[in-house]
Structure 1
Amino acid sequence: MEDSVDRLIEAALAEDIGAGDLTSLYFVPQERRTTGFIVARETGVLSGGEVAQRVFQKVDPSIETELLVHDGDRIAEGAYVMKIEGPARSVLTAERTALNFMQRMSGVAKATRRYVDAVRGTSAQILDTRKTIPGWRILDKLAVSHGGGTNHRMGLYDRVMVKDNHLVAEGRLEELQEAIRRLKAEHPGVQVELEADDLMQVADFLELDGVDYLLLDNMELSALREAVEMRGERATPQLEASGGVTLKTVAGIAETGVDFISVGAITHSVKAMDLALDFVKSE
């Protein structure tokens, strides 16, 4: 994880700095030192604080940073999030990249927390999806966890999800069962999830061995409740509801008894949180 994040930071800095920060070079004295604070301009949930610290360190190891709140903490409007001290040129060079990481990640964490709060009191967990910024998935999913959500699979390699398009090619239950057996034998520990579009598919898939999860896609609340009843007291497969989930509908979905609710919007349609770096004026 650390190597992946470092590569993202280095790419972001190269994109922004290029051959050099000309503004700071020509308009900020080399000897000038500064103290600043990253401040929240709105309420939310902090994420990306440790990543931002890494940005400042990569630009100039002499910059000193202190997180005043931790990733995953709720923060109020006006809260001081981080203190930064160091050469003014270096701090200014790192400022935008550090804020870009924090604002995006805090936006994801804030959106996730709203969904988590909406299902509080039920047994349902909020899941993320693979609908993330290309290259940013590890950070998007880290931000989801800071918001209280649960990470779904990282990619195509760490969990099997057989969706409707896969079933077009492998539609017979006997062939599906054989494929599951072969996968489990060759990749022990990899979990299997099947997408069901209706209750007939739910009934068929409940007869298969080795299925860890059923994805209940775009089902009405009544169908979700019936699927939960069909599963009964069995520990598996666990049931995931998906499709068109909003803050208005998520509580009702959770109350059906499903185990998970996946929400693509918490990573693909979030608003960056408003954070800013304010400098302390020198006397």
Structure 2
Amino acid sequence: MHLSPLPAIMLEPLVRAALLEDFGRAGDLTTDAVVPKDHHATTVLTARQAGTVAGLDLATLAFRLIDQSVDVKVHLPDGIAVAQGEIIASVSGPARAILTAERTALNFLCHLSGIATATASVVAAVRGHAAKIVCTRKTTPGLRAVEKYAVRAGGGANHRFGLDDAILIKDNHIAVAGGIRPAIERARAGAGHLVKIEVEVDTLAQLEEALPLAPDAVLLDNMSVDALRQAVAMVAGRAITEASGRITVNTASAVAATGVDLISIGWLTHSAPILDIGLDYREL
């Protein structure tokens, strides 16, 4: 899997803000008091449970923003599955810098690796089917770009990044607009030539109403497996089909078997548990 890294200019403000939050008003009182200024240390980032790695660039930035001389050697890069006990990277340099940046580095690395691990589990569950696993806009404020990157690291794909890169007409839009037809017609009148239009439907009757209006995609929300199968047959390739709504690792395979093109899952970013990764000191 080819995983393009995010530009450092996107990552640095996030890491810098996290470090400043940790420094507070007086800096790292503990490390400055306990660790000699000239002491050097070698440490390793170790997976304490099996999973998929994501977030090493942010972890590396956390160390190097404190001290550029910290050396981070990555052994198992983002997107790679790791076993419990495997060393992901080694970190060496001024001990004060390593210990000061440790929690910020681990916060990013554990969180994003948790998202990648959760995504990989669902991707594995639908293997053999054509459906892609995609994330949603249910992300941590300020962290959308890196959380969506973590989904890609886990083998998933991204839905829209914000309100400005696609039109997604949801149930409340339909209610305010006065129905599916006026909602789609107004969307098409206002959309640029490169903007795709997706409409959410909850029933097969709504789908039947939407299809003659030629949306680019239909979001099949909270439908049963049987209804999804019927919906795919009704669409017959005229639009991209996306299943959504309380889909889990255990139910994803059955949903994928209906023939839908996409399965969107919000909990990949808003509720995935962290992957436990620790920073362990090694005697020189």
Superposition TM-score, scaled by structure 1 size: 0.95
Q: State the partner residue of 1:240.
A: 242
Amino acid at match of 1:248: N
Amino acid at match of 2:53: L
Q: State the partner residue of 1:200.
A: 205
Q: Aligned match of 1:163 in 162, 170, 178?
A: 170
Q: Distance in 2 between matches of 1:55 and 1:251?
A: 38
Q: What's the secondary structure of 1:161's corresponding residue?
A: strand
Amino acid at match of 1:15: E
> Structure 1 79/257 Cα, relative in aligned 2: closer, same or farther at 3 Å?
same
Alignment of 1:72 with 2:74, yes or no, is no
Q: State the partner residue of 2:37.
A: 30
Unaligned 5+ segments in structure 2 are 1-6
Q: State the partner residue of 2:10.
A: 4
> Structure 1 143/177 Cα, relative in aligned 2: closer, same or farther at 3 Å?
closer
Deviation, structure 1 residue 178: 2.8
Q: What's the secondary structure of 1:133's corresponding residue?
A: coil
Alignment of 1:52 with 2:82, yes or no, is no
Deviation, structure 1 residue 203: 1.0
Deviation, structure 1 residue 168: 0.7
Q: Is the 8 A contact 2:46 2:86 kept in 1?
A: yes
Amino acid at match of 2:207: V
Q: Distance in 2 between matches of 1:2 and 1:178?
A: 41
Deviation, structure 1 residue 169: 1.4
Q: State the partner residue of 2:275.
A: 273
> Structure 1 216/30 Cα, relative in aligned 2: closer, same or farther at 3 Å?
same
Q: Distance in 2 between matches of 1:174 and 1:274?
A: 49
Runs (4+) off by over 4 Å = none
Amino acid at match of 1:99: L
Deviations, residues 45-70 of structure 1 (Å, cap 9, x unaligned): 00001111111111110111111111
Deviations, residues 124-175 of structure 1 (Å, cap 9, x unaligned): 0111011111111111101000000110011111111100100011134542
Q: Distance in 1 between matches of 2:115 and 2:222?
A: 23
Counterparts of residues 143-222 of structure 1 (less than 5 Å): 143-184=150-191, 187-209=192-214, 211-222=215-226
Q: Distance in 1 between matches of 2:193 and 2:11?
A: 29
Amino acid at match of 1:196: V
Q: What's the secondary structure of 1:14's corresponding residue?
A: helix
Amino acid at match of 1:135: G
Deviations, residues 168-198 of structure 1 (Å, cap 9, x unaligned): 11134542343133133xx221111100010
Counterparts of residues 108-147 of structure 1 (less than 5 Å): 108-147=115-154
Q: Distance in 1 between matches of 2:106 and 2:83?
A: 17
Superposed CA RMSD in Å reads: 1.2
Deviation, structure 1 residue 3: 3.0
Q: What's the secondary structure of 1:39's corresponding residue?
A: strand
Amino acid at match of 2:210: F
Deviation, structure 1 residue 17: 1.5
Q: Aligned match of 1:86 in 88, 93, 104?
A: 93
Alignment of 1:230 with 2:234, yes or no, is yes
Q: What's the secondary structure of 1:77's corresponding residue?
A: coil
Deviation, structure 1 residue 79: 0.5
Q: Distance in 1 between matches of 2:181 and 2:56?
A: 50
Q: What's the secondary structure of 2:113's corresponding residue?
A: helix
Q: Distance in 1 between matches of 2:271 and 2:74?
A: 27
Q: Distance in 1 between matches of 2:180 and 2:249?
A: 36
Deviates more, 1:4-13 or 1:81-90: 4-13
Q: Distance in 1 between matches of 2:137 and 2:182?
A: 27
Q: Is the 8 A contact 2:181 2:213 kept in 1?
A: no
Q: Is the 8 A contact 2:181 2:210 kept in 1?
A: no
